[in-house]
Amino acid sequence: MADSTMSSATPAANSNDLNKPFRFGGQNFKRWASKVLFYLKLMKVVWILTAKNPKKVDTKNMSEEELVKHEKYAAKWENDEEDCRNYFLNCLSDELYDYYSHTYNSAKRMWKALQQKYDTEEAKKKKYAQPLFQLKMSENVSVVAQTYDLQMIVHEIISEGIKINEKMQVTAIIDKLLNSWKEFQKGLRHKQLELSIVNLMARLQIEAEVRRQDKKNEAFANNTHSNHANNHQGNGNGAKVNFLTSSDSAPKGQNNFQRQNNFLNTRGSI
């Protein structure tokens, strides 16, 4: 009979374990909070978060019957409150467990404290991070200069005590590159997990210089071609002369990102 009782109780316990939320360490509070509330509901103690402490209720004017009911309610509240608090603590990281277990003696106070700290922090992060994701690059301004502006926004956000890791910064910069940088952007996407901000900025500067030099060479070639054609027309000679630009001199099929990698390989990787 004992074995039968244990086997029938085990699935319920396992079911509760499967619904237990991840241990909260300071990130993704809203997701964690939603899982915690569902878990506490399954454990039938979620009501403690909204119930009034019966110890604070005045019992002087209660009838004998009301007093008996109140005492039963108070005993249930005390038992469920302790369970709720412990369930909460077991859903926290060791560091947060140590802090909240010594600081708050009730589940309701602990819940309010977590909400005030982490719900507010996430809202603040969204508020300050919004310009980072809304900023768009312009074709009329240097990409490198605009990237520095983006970095200034990041530093302002960090100065507010909000953490933005380097990989997020790298991804944000790559995502905002202009359409005219599309091929170069594709090359960066394959390397974004390996890139640091310093590496990325160096590559952007080299690519910008390559593009600037290409435009300069193309303008020079077009001007030379135009002058040569005019001279031939003046001499009555219609011979056509082809001039190579820097982009023509690159191996066929290579884009600027590939050419830049060739350049980096000759001078050592950044």
Separation of alpha carbons 91 and 97, rounded Å: 8
**Structural domain boundaries, residue 101:** 15-120
What stretch of H or E contains 171? Answer: helix 166-175
DSSP string, 108-126: HHHHHHHIIIIIHHHHHHH
Among 120, 146, 172, the domain boundary falls at: 120
The structural domain count of the chain equals 2
Residues 6+ apart with CB under 8 A from 186: 257
What is the Cα 237 distance to its own chain's centre?
65
97 with 145, same domain: the answer is no
Cα dist from 81 to 23, 37, 47, 89, 105, whole Å: 20, 14, 9, 12, 10
Task: Decide if 240 contacts 169 (C-beta within 8 A).
Answer: no
pLDDT at residue 124, rounded to an integer = 61
Q: Answer whether residue 8 is part of any domain.
A: no
Q: Answer whether residue 222 is part of any domain.
A: yes
Q: Answer whether residue 139 is part of any domain.
A: yes
DSSP, collapsed to helix, strand or coil, labels residue 24 as strand
pLDDT in tens, the chain (270 residues): 334 333 333 334 444 565 678 889 888 888 899 999 999 999 999 999 999 889 888 888 889 899 999 999 999 999 999 999 999 999 999 999 999 999 999 999 999 999 888 877 666 666 655 666 667 788 888 888 888 888 887 777 776 667 777 888 888 888 888 888 988 988 888 888 888 889 999 999 999 899 888 888 887 777 776 766 666 565 555 544 444 444 444 454 455 555 555 555 554 444
Reference 35, options 18, 19, 15, 12; nearest CA is 19
Among 76, 97, 120, the domain boundary falls at: 120
74 with 157, same domain: the answer is no
Tokens 């074709």 sit on residue: 139
Among 71, 88, 120, the domain boundary falls at: 120
